[in-house]
Amino acid sequence: MRQYDHLFFDLDNTLWDFAANSREAMRLTLEQKHITSHLPSFEAYFQVYEQINKSLWNDYHSRKITKQCLVVERFSKSMQEFGINTLDWQDLNHCYLENMGLQTRLFPETLETLTLLKSKGYQMHIITNGFREVQRTKLANCGLAVFFTKVFISEEIQTTKPHREIFEHALKSTNASKKKSIMIGDSWETDIEGALDFGIDQVMFLNDGLHDVPAPINSLRLAENSNFLKLKHQKKTFFINKITDLTSIF
């Protein structure tokens, strides 16, 4: 008897290459809005934007700010660093999200891995903190939608990972048991700790070290020379470097 029946995946930076796709979407947005020529370079702007955006997303996950605040301030604050103060920030964000939905870069062999898992009869679902106006478009345009039975978007459920309510909602909606469920994601704070505290096993996608884990966890993982640890509630935390490594677990 196999250990799991329901595989719950994060989307951004787990299957869909957020880093590459967001960079291209931003490049297109700045060109379409004729902003690029007013900046010292695209790279200079994008570096500032990424830092501000990451901080705002952390506040959003912690319920310190609203979505409206996030989408406005990530552009207003980053553009103001370059002396640009008079743009329609909401329009800029709308253009950016439209371009995001058109990007289709996935991590290597993602489709092949999901095809294999689906052929084995696993029920696969998405739990994502992204915005509803773009997440389903991403899934459809890059060929991922056919693999997932249900898609749970934090904005629609009105709670985000790592809060237990989103995991509880997902398992109830799929009639899945904790024992037979596992979460696969790239963020230690939202995906792994959230699922661990809720009481289900998890897979941390390391992306060959590009996705961080806390130093004590990494030291313990290396010391035990194992592909999984038991950190809390006797739940297993697996570690993979590539999406294809999922086939060694399932």
Find the CATH number of the domain harbouring 144.
3.40.50.1000
Contact indicator for 102, 25 with CB cutoff of 8 Å: yes
Structural domain harbouring 58: 19-102
| 10 is a catalytic site residue | yes
User: How many Cβ atoms sit within 10 Å of the Cβ of residue 238?
Assistant: 20
Check whether residue 90 and residue 115 sit in a common domain: no
Kind and range of the H or E element at 21? helix 18-32
Task: Note the pLDDT tens digit of each residue in 107-118.
Answer: 999 999 999 999
- Whether 148 and 139 have beta carbons less than 8 Å apart is answered as yes
The domain tally of the chain equals 2
Q: Is 12 a catalytic residue?
A: yes
Last residue of a domain, one of 102, 135, 163: 102
Catalytic residue among 12, 17, 186, 191: 12
Please write the tens of the pLDDT for every residue from 132-161.
Answer: 889 999 999 999 999 999 999 999 999 999
- The pTM of the full predicted model, rounded to 2 decimals, is 0.93
